[in-house]
Structure 1
Amino acid sequence: MKKVINVVGYIRVSTHEQAEEGFSLEAQGAEIRRYCEQNNLNLLGIFCDAGITGTSIKERKDFQKLLKVIANAKEVYGTEVNYVLVWKLSRLSRNMKDLVNTLDYFEVHNVYLKTISELIDTSTSAGKSFIMMSGIMAEMERENIVNQCRLGMKQRARQGKWNGGRVLGYKTNSNKELEIVEEEARIVREVFRLFTEEGWGYKKIAMYLNYQGFATIKARDWSINSIKQIIDNPIYAGYVRWGRYEFWNKKRRAGKTEDFIFVKGTHIPIITEETWGKTKQVRNIRGRKPEKVYDGHFLLTGLLKCPTCGASMVAHRVKKRNKPGEYHRYYACGNYTNKGLTTCRTNLVHADYAEEYILKEIEKLVHNPEIVNSIVKKLKKNTEIDTKPMLKELQKIKKELENIQAKKEQNLLLELENKISINILTQRMEFLESQEKEAKEKIFRMESEIHNIESQSLLDSDFINDVLQNFMQLFANADTKQKKQLLHSLIDKITVNKGDTTSERTIDKITLFFEPQEVEALSKQKVFEATCDTVLPGLS
């Protein structure tokens, strides 16, 4: 009896491909069903991703489901999956790295890939070789599509047209043109008015909007940064700015460039040119750095956690009465500082008290033999990890690296003997070099991990004790920045007791990085006499 071959199909289109003939989901699905009928294949199901780019497989929900089904096929279908069937290789991926990883995953689960258009079958050695070449071509096609798309967007920007993306105050119509959303536009106009005419700062505006119940475009509370984004966006004055950041998905703000497009847009502005001019003037004036009049240091910024909302606490200072240039130092809730009273309270903690208390606790800890023994015990537990499987895996990767390097030499010989063209050699070498780089990185990581595990066996209580003793000496001689780094290397977080006054807000627990336990504060009684409670900003 002939063995039944079980198949699952996969179809995908990106947004710009949906209108193209042959690319539609219906057409791909029909081709898969027809192919299965003609070749007596048992089609178990078809997985579909619509409007999803071929750049990466991570965002494709149905493809991720497909991978899970392959691993648990007998539970899902009551039988194993033998093949994944696609209309064309590019439907699976145009990214070479993703393609290789996917094929490796298929191989682990004894699943092969078939493509209808290119007639690829990875169950054969010829199919495996061909798919690598096809994958390279698919990636080249992807890069070409990306470049064409960027050129199209650049041209639209030069014409003053919007390239997409939701901004507060506007929506995009069917012709990809911006239209004003009046309800949102009123918020935008108010932000500019408060900034230019009332002289309010970012924080005060954010607090006001939160107090009034207005939300951002993502239905979140307003913050200093979200107000900055409104004030800095020329779209509201009728301009289009495009290309300010190159390769945002990869580089983020590090890709900022001065070579960007800035032109008058075709859309209707929300604010006047006069308002936009005033905004720039105000920003220029406020952008000048004032003379530094305060030299206070806050060592626990980010470590202290708000007793109400759990956010990191940040530096906060208040002028002393009748003492120019002198301040009270506090730590305040970061949510309150950035977003105002609607999100949390100040929950002030005296900085002098908190820092003095924490340093005393650390000094006790580093002289505590139980802590030293606890660390040694934990390290010894780590050294009990059997490195034999890791060493075996390391040798396997090293063998793979040797095979890759051998293939590079073989391809060079083939080109010298005129058996392959220089173009094919270049493509193969690029692929092999990427594999070589990945293998070397794996070897480096594994060797480092094995070294760390083996080196920990050399540590003893005397060595740990010396390290902790040196911690306090290093801290005493360090500058402010180094002190912060030392504290952050030792402490994970510091929680604070709830209270209505600063005298009630004392240190609760110190959580250390090297031990999962929380170190209880030795005293929760009032340690520092408060001279000031809370400072409330005025909203006019």
Structure 2
Amino acid sequence: MKREVIELPAKDPAEIPPQRRQLRVAAYCRVSTSLEAQQNSYEAQKEYYTDKILSNPDWTLAGIFSDKGISGTSVEKRDGFQRMIRWCQQGKIDLILTKSISRFARNTLDCLHYVRLLQQLNIPIIFESEGIDSSRMSNELILTLMGATSQAESEAISSRVKWGVRASFKEGNVRYCYKSWLGYRKGENGEPEIIPEEAAIVQQIFTAYLDGQSLRDIKALLESQKRLTKSGHEKWSISSINSILRNEKYTGDAKDVTDKGQD
């Protein structure tokens, strides 16, 4: 049989409808304290952005990046933020959503630095509260002013908190951070309670220092004896040993208001 070959003409590329790729959208949310009310806000932000992105047919969820209980003054301490930036540099994100400039960064220089970096990567940021889309900015004046305002707000809050702490100290009140305070825990009556095994480590540090040993020597001694830090690690840092030696609670310079007049 004679085979018949049918030649199909190639389609004109102009006639082929373009395939529209979904934008890979990420969101960044943050709360600055670990208080319960803030935690609720934190979870609400994550839920809001997850629903917002998934409900848009032109978007696909690239990730919800978040930090909680972390100061907003600098981005260096925010692991979630830094991971989001790395993903952007790796080409995994096309668009970023965030609640406001103050959530993104409260330091003006940091804010401008990362906005410029993301613009170079062609990744817009939408600041919802301010109604700003960084891809439509002809200049950075508005962002600079708003960033400066956010930074001033952060510094004002910090100043008020510090003032409150100082005022509390003047009244003789002492705040105890048991999470990082080696040798003590909060007792049933709300007062500090000694943890004998941890207290022995503190006494050893002070004794070694008074015997003339350097901080490096004390570090080596503690690690050779497998003494544990407050967080349960066998590795000690010189700075943590120095902090213990300088801690006003160990040296007796901090007393609760209830101790007044008893010395």
Give the equivalent residue in structure 1 for 2:43.
Answer: 26
CA distance in 1, matches of 2:23, 2:223: 64
Gap change, CA 1:40 and 1:122, over 3 Å in 2: farther
Q: Note if 1:201 corresponds to 2:197.
A: no
Contact 1:56 1:95 in 2 (8 A): yes
Indicate the larger mover: 160-169 or 95-104.
160-169
Give the equivalent residue in structure 2 for 1:50.
Answer: 68
Give the equivalent residue in structure 1 for 2:196.
Answer: 182
TM-score (norm 2): 0.69
Q: Note if 1:65 corresponds to 2:83.
A: yes
Task: Percent identity, please.
Answer: 26
**Runs (5+) with no aligned partner, structure 1:** 241-263, 274-540
CA distance in 1, matches of 2:132, 2:68: 24
Contact 1:10 1:86 in 2 (8 A): yes
Give the equivalent residue in structure 1 for 2:253.
Answer: 239
Gap change, CA 1:231 and 1:15, over 3 Å in 2: closer
Give the equivalent residue in structure 1 for 2:107.
Answer: 95
Contact 1:31 1:87 in 2 (8 A): no
> What's the secondary structure of 2:135's corresponding residue?
coil
Gap change, CA 1:123 and 1:92, over 3 Å in 2: same
Report the residue type matching 1:166 in the other structure.
S
Q: Note if 1:265 corresponds to 2:242.
A: no
User: By how many angstroms is 1:120 displaced?
Assistant: 1.3
Give the equivalent residue in structure 2 for 1:15.
Answer: 33
Residues 45-77 of structure 1: CA distance to partner in whole angstroms, max 9, x if unpaired? 21122222212112222222211211222xx4x
Give the equivalent residue in structure 2 for 1:111.
Answer: 123
Contact 1:162 1:178 in 2 (8 A): no
Gap change, CA 1:174 and 1:8, over 3 Å in 2: farther
**Runs (5+) with no aligned partner, structure 2:** 1-17
Report the residue type matching 2:234 in the other structure.
A
Residues 300-334 of structure 1: CA distance to partner in whole angstroms, max 9, x if unpaired? xxxxxxxxxxxxxxxxxxxxxxxxxxxxxxxxxxx
Higher RCO, 1 vs 2 (CA within 8 Å, ≥6 residues apart): 2
> What's the secondary structure of 1:19's corresponding residue?
helix
Contact 2:34 2:68 in 1 (8 A): no
Report the residue type matching 1:106 in the other structure.
L
Give the equivalent residue in structure 1 for 2:180.
Answer: 166
CA distance in 2, matches of 1:118, 1:162: 38
User: By how many angstroms is 1:203 displaced?
Assistant: 2.0
- Structure 2 counterpart of 1:146, from 154, 158, 166: 158
Gap change, CA 1:98 and 1:178, over 3 Å in 2: farther
Residues 101-127 of structure 1: CA distance to partner in whole angstroms, max 9, x if unpaired? 100111110011102222111122368
Gap change, CA 1:266 and 1:209, over 3 Å in 2: farther
Mapping for residues 114-513 of structure 1, pairs under 5 Å: 114-125=126-137, 128-158=140-170, 159-162=172-175, 164=177, 166-171=180-185, 178-189=192-203, 201-203=211-213, 206=218, 210=222, 213=225, 215=227, 217=229, 219-220=234-235, 226=241, 233-236=247-250, 238-240=252-254, 264-265=255-256
Give the equivalent residue in structure 1 for 2:4.
Answer: none
TM-score (norm 1): 0.37
> What's the secondary structure of 2:65's corresponding residue?
strand
Report the residue type matching 2:164 in the other structure.
G
User: By how many angstroms is 1:11 displaced?
Assistant: 1.2
User: By how many angstroms is 1:89 displaced?
Assistant: 1.8
Give the equivalent residue in structure 2 for 1:477.
Answer: none
Residues 241-298 of structure 1: CA distance to partner in whole angstroms, max 9, x if unpaired? xxxxxxxxxxxxxxxxxxxxxxx23699xxxx8xxxxxxxxxxxxxxxxxxxxxxxxx
